[in-house]
Amino acid sequence: MAGVNNILESVREDDFVEYYLFPVINSEDIKEQETILSCVLSKANKIIDNYSKNYLWHKDEFKLVPRTSISNLLTHIDGKNEKLPPHLYGVSHFGDNIEDEWFMVFILQQLTKEINGLAVKVYDSDGEFILIEAADFLPDWADPETCENRVYLYESNVHIIPMDSEEEKELTVSSALSKLFKNPTETKASQDIQNTFNNKLKGYPEKTKDNIHRSTIYVPIGVAAILKLKPTLIAPAIQAFCNRDSVDLRACRAMKYFPPENRVNTSVNFTKCMYAMLTHSKFVPDRRTGWNLPHSSSPQFKAHNLGLRVASGFEILISQAKPSAEIESDKGWANYLQSLKNKGYFQDLMENSRDYNNLLNKAKEYYINHRDSMQYMPAVGQQILELTKTLDYNADELKKAESDLPKDDDDSWLDISPEELDQMLQEKYGQKKFINVNNNTDPGMFTDKVKNFINHVSEVEGAEFPNHSPQRPPRGVKSKNKVSFSKDTKADENKSNNKVNFDPNSFSCAVQNILNFVIPEDDSWDQSGSDMSEYEDDIEVNNGESYAEVNAKMKKYMDEMDRELAKTTIGESFEKKTNGDGFDDIENFRPVDIDVNALKNILESYKSQLGEAGPSSNMLGPMGVHLDTNENAKVE
């Protein structure tokens, strides 16, 4: 179902959430289906309005449209997808504000709670994102492929349709709904999954108020009047301004509809995401336009600066205005119409005949309604253009209101220190237990952490950190490989044809021998052999050589290395072990302290990063090792 060839395919971005609401409908009669869907839609709209009446959507609002069998024909124009049961459908883009997505999920949960027998399927560009949040508690068989069409919200709980057998790889939505409605107690997910899901939605709808930022802006009087009438238009104006191009900048220079000569102060509600976008979008206005900005140190600078940006956004929207009914020049409509013809939607009717035109008008209406539900910029611009012509406002009242504006909210939340950012990331994604590495750290404890990472077995997809929880991939980045939801991923030894025999203990010994290259000239050492002698000499490696032969070659290589390095002073740069380590009988020999040197090198590497991301912090952070930021911290 994720591959539905939607009518907005040409403009669909990765920041979408798609939702399907399935009521219990057993009738095959189209009119009866429409009646039931209309009744459910009426109830749903009341619930949606109750929770989102004053909500400021970043991009698209939450909107549902009914889909019967005919509607399915209009949307599944490629003929390759499953024809779904009658349902209510919606798709919304949330842009840069991920809070919109989870608020929609909260609304969907409430719909299943307040409307009996309603099941909901929801996913986004990452797929079944609800399961990704609860990845630690999923059954062993769960992965993105096997979970398709198996995850639903029902009676405010998460339900996962279990897999009956290994052969049942694909499950249709109709079959899944039948199992869900028949026995919901068997499909209900575990309590751990329910807790994770509910914790994600904890605080809604009250927490939406904490996401609002109020600020005063100095805008042309026409913009102030429009925002007073329809405050939600601030969202598309900010989107238009932040996504401006060279053509839009020409409209900003002209300011035909909102000239800066007559301006007033007005108080506007932003979401924190919108406010941050508007504040940090670099923009230098054309002086010829008439924007007379005060000095940046002036108390009025912020209101002037924000106001010219908002006004420019409204001007850009009007420059893009196009009546929503005008779709003949719409490339998306042309592609959609051709797909309908290829599908046989017009039933070989003669073009321009009455029946043909009826079907054509129905397709146009569906396309326009669906397009306008998603902040279609030309349609929004047309709406603002109509307001500039018809809106009747009193300029004197708007000027008088300047003296009674509410106080601006504190925007210090825009600035966070590196330590606060690290803490936020740690609370969200990091390890729960850390060891601090500084000048008092036991080097042995540190190297144990590193050894655990080296000895940890990972799959072919990449390196895994021990006890590292899976993370949600970045939006829009899709892996074509199979990705497991499960926390503990184990290699399937029965299916492996890997002929490489890697012994981590032998490798560790070899590395230690290389690091501890200063070998004293003592006959007893030649007889003792290396650490590899603990392994039986008759064990054959892949190329047919015994460990004794490999050991002899390694000894030869190390002797040659000693002769080369003896001419340098590199050995003096390593930290040596203290006296009393069992080498008192060997004159002037102090072996290299591998643990101390490893810790020292890591600290030096971290220090050279100068507080930015680098190999040391990237590797050690997920391993649960926290490096001291004190510049004086070093290993003595």
Q: What one-character DSSP code corresponds to residue 128?
A: S
**CA separation for the pair 592, 557 (Å, rounded):** 19
pLDDT, residue 231, reads 94
**CA separation for the pair 555, 526 (Å, rounded):** 9
508: confidence class by pLDDT, cuts 50, 70, 90: low
Domain ranges of the chain: 16-200, 210-322+385-412, 422-620
507 or 216, higher pLDDT: 216
Phi/psi of residue 21, nearest 5 degrees: -115, 115
Helices 234-242, 272-280: crossing angle, 10 deg rounding: 30
Contact 455, 504 (CB under 8 A): yes
Amino acid in position 372: D
200 or 600, higher pLDDT: 200
Nearest one of 439, 443, 441 to 595, comparing CA atoms? 443
Contact 397, 587 (CB under 8 A): no
Per DSSP bridges, beta strands 435-437 and 157-160 are unpaired
What tens digit of pLDDT does each residue of 77-135 get?
A: 444 467 788 999 988 888 888 899 999 999 999 999 999 999 999 988 888 888 888 88
CB atoms within 10 A of CB 77: 24
Model pTM score:
0.65
**CA separation for the pair 108, 102 (Å, rounded):** 10
What tens digit of pLDDT does each residue of 214-254 get?
A: 999 999 999 999 999 999 999 999 999 998 988 888 889 88
Residue 354 CB partners (closer than 8 Å, separation 6+): none
Q: Which of 39-43, 306-310, 524-528, 582-586 has the lowest mean pLDDT?
A: 524-528
| 3-state SS assignment for residue 47 | helix
Its sign, for the CA torsion 392, 395, 396, 399, is: positive
Contact 211, 272 (CB under 8 A): yes
